Structure 1
Amino acid sequence: MKPSIKNIAELCKLNPSTVSRALNNKYGVKPETRKSVMEAAVELGYVPNLAARELVYKKGNLVCIIIPESDAEAQPAFFAMLPYMNRILRTHGMETMIYAFDPYRYRQGELMELVQKRNLRGCIVLPGFMKHHNIFNDIRTITTPCVVLEVSVNSEMCSSIHTDEVYGAYIATQHIIDFGHTRIGFINGPSNVQICEERMSGYKKAIENAKLILKDEDVVYSDFTGKGGGEAIITLLKQSPDLTAVFIANDLMAMGAISKLSEEGYHIPGDISVVGFDGLFVSQYYNPPLTTIKNDDYTIAIQAAKSLMGIIEQNTVAEIRIKPELIYGKSVKRLTT
Structure 2
Amino acid sequence: MTTIADVARYAGVSVATVSHVMNRTRHVEPETAERVRSAIAALRYNPNSLARSLRRGETKTIGLLVPDNANPFFASVARQIEDAGFVAGYTVILCNSDGSAEKEERYLQVLMAKQIDGLIFAGSSDHARVFSSLLPSVPAVLLDREIHSVNVDSVLVDHDHGGYLAGRYLVGLGHKKFGVIGGPRDSSSSPARLQGFVRALQEAGLDLPASSVVDSDYHFVGGRVAMEQLMAQAPGITALFACNDLMAMGALTVLRGRGLRVPDEMSIVGFDDIPYAVTTWPPLTTIAQPVEKIGTRAVSLLMQRLGGPEAPSRREILAPALVERESCAPARK
1:294–1:326 Cα contact (<8 Å) kept: yes
The separation in 2 between residues aligned to 1:20 and 1:277, in whole angstroms, is 47
Q: Give the TM-score, by structure 1 length.
A: 0.79
**Aligned with 2:132 (options 131, 137, 142):** 137
Q: 1:201 to 1:312 in 2, by over 3 A?
A: same
Please give the root-mean-square deviation of Cα atoms over the aligned residues, in Å: 3.0
Structure 1, 317-326 or 60-69: larger mean CA deviation = 60-69
Report how many residues are paired. Answer: 301
8 Å contact from structure 2 (residues 101, 130) kept in 1: no
Contact 1:229 1:252 in 2 (8 A): yes
Matching of residues 173-212 of structure 1 within 5 Å = 173-212=167-206
CA distance 1:234–1:114, shift in 2 (3 Å): closer
Structure 2 gap segments, 5+ residues each: 9-17, 26-43
Q: Does the 8 Å contact 1:276/1:290 carry over to 2?
A: yes
AA matched with 1:252: L
> How is 1:282-297 mapped onto 2 (pairs within 5 angstroms)?
282-297=276-291
After superposition, the C-alpha distances for 1:168-210 in whole angstroms (9 at most, x for unaligned) are 1110111111111111221111222211111111111111111
The aligned counterpart of 1:243 is 237
Q: Which residue of 1 aligns with 2:119?
A: 123
Shift of 1:60: 2.6
| 1:284–1:115 distance in 2 versus 1, CA, 3 Å | closer
**Which has more radius of gyration?**
2
Aligned to 1:302: 296
In structure 1, the partner of 2:210 is 216
1:58 matched to 2:57? The reply is: yes
Q: Is the 8 A contact 1:108 1:138 kept in 2?
A: no
SS of the aligned residue for 1:247 comes to strand
2-structure distance, mates of 1:217, 1:112: 39
Contact 1:111 1:138 in 2 (8 A): no
Residues 257-302 of structure 1: CA distance to partner in whole angstroms, max 9, x if unpaired? 1111111121111111111111111111111111111111101111
Identify which of 88, 96, 107 aligns with 2:84.
88
CA distance in 1, matches of 2:115, 2:164: 43
Instruction: Please state how far the C-alpha of 1:82 moved relative to its aligned partner.
Output: 2.9
The one-letter code sitting in structure 2 at the alignment partner of 1:205 is R
Give 1:164 deviation, angstroms: 1.0
The offset of 1:335, in angstroms, is 2.9
Separation in 1, partners of 2:60, 2:185: 38
Paired residue for 1:20?
Answer: 23
1:42 corresponds in structure 2 to: none
Say if 1:181 and 1:113 are closer, same or farther in 2 by CA, change over 3 A.
Answer: closer
Q: 1:289 to 1:183 in 2, by over 3 A?
A: same
Tell me, in whole angstroms, the C-alpha distance in 2 between the residues paired with 1:69 and 1:271: 33
Q: Distance in 1 between matches of 2:189 and 2:78?
A: 20
Q: TM-score scaled to structure 2, two decimals? A: 0.80
CA displacement at 1:3 relative to structure 2: 12
Unaligned runs of 5+ in 1: 7-14, 23-44
Query: Is the Cα contact below 8 Å between 1:187 and 1:233 reproduced in 2?
Result: yes
Cα distance between partner residues in 1 of 2:85 and 2:327: 39
Instruction: Using the TM superposition, give the Cα deviation of residue 52 of structure 1 relative to its aligned residue in structure 2, in angstroms.
Output: 2.1
Question: 2:141 & 2:87 partners in 1: Cα distance?
Answer: 18
Q: Which residue of 2 aligns with 1:330?
A: 326
Change in Cα spacing, 1:252 to 1:124, as seen in structure 2 (3 Å) is same
| Alpha carbons 1:69, 1:101 under 8 Å: kept | yes
Partners of 1:69 and 1:100 within 8 A in 2: yes
Take 2:95 and 2:226, find their aligned partners in 1: how far apart are those partners?
33
Per-residue deviation, 1:327: 1.1
- Compared CA separation, residues 46 and 236, structure 1 to 2 (3 A): farther
Q: Is the 8 A contact 2:72 2:275 kept in 1?
A: no
Conserved? CA contact 2:238–2:331, under 8 Å: no
| Partner SS for 1:274 | strand
- Verify the 8 A CA contact 2:72 2:274 in the aligned structure 1: no
**Partners of 1:275 and 1:230 in 2: CA distance:** 15
C-alpha distance after superposition, 1:224-247 (max 9, x if no partner): 222221222222222221211111
Instruction: Output the CA distance in 2 between the equivalents of 1:69 and 1:332.
Output: 29
Please give the alpha-carbon distance, in whole angstroms, between the structure 2 residues aligned to 1:93 and 1:240: 53
Identity %, equivalent residues: 27
Aligned CA distance change for structure 1 residues 237 and 68 (closer, same or farther; 3 Å):
closer
User: How do residues 94-173 of structure 1 correspond to structure 2 at under 5 angstroms?
Assistant: 94-101=90-97, 103-104=99-100, 106=102, 110=106, 113-126=109-122, 129-133=123-127, 134-139=129-134, 141-153=135-147, 154-156=149-151, 158-173=152-167
Contact 1:109 1:138 in 2 (8 A): no
Amino acid at match of 1:235: Q
Note the C-alpha offset of 1:66.
2.0
Give the 3-state SS of the residue equivalent to 2:119 in structure 1.
strand
**Distance 1:192-1:67 versus aligned 2 partners, 3 A rule:** closer
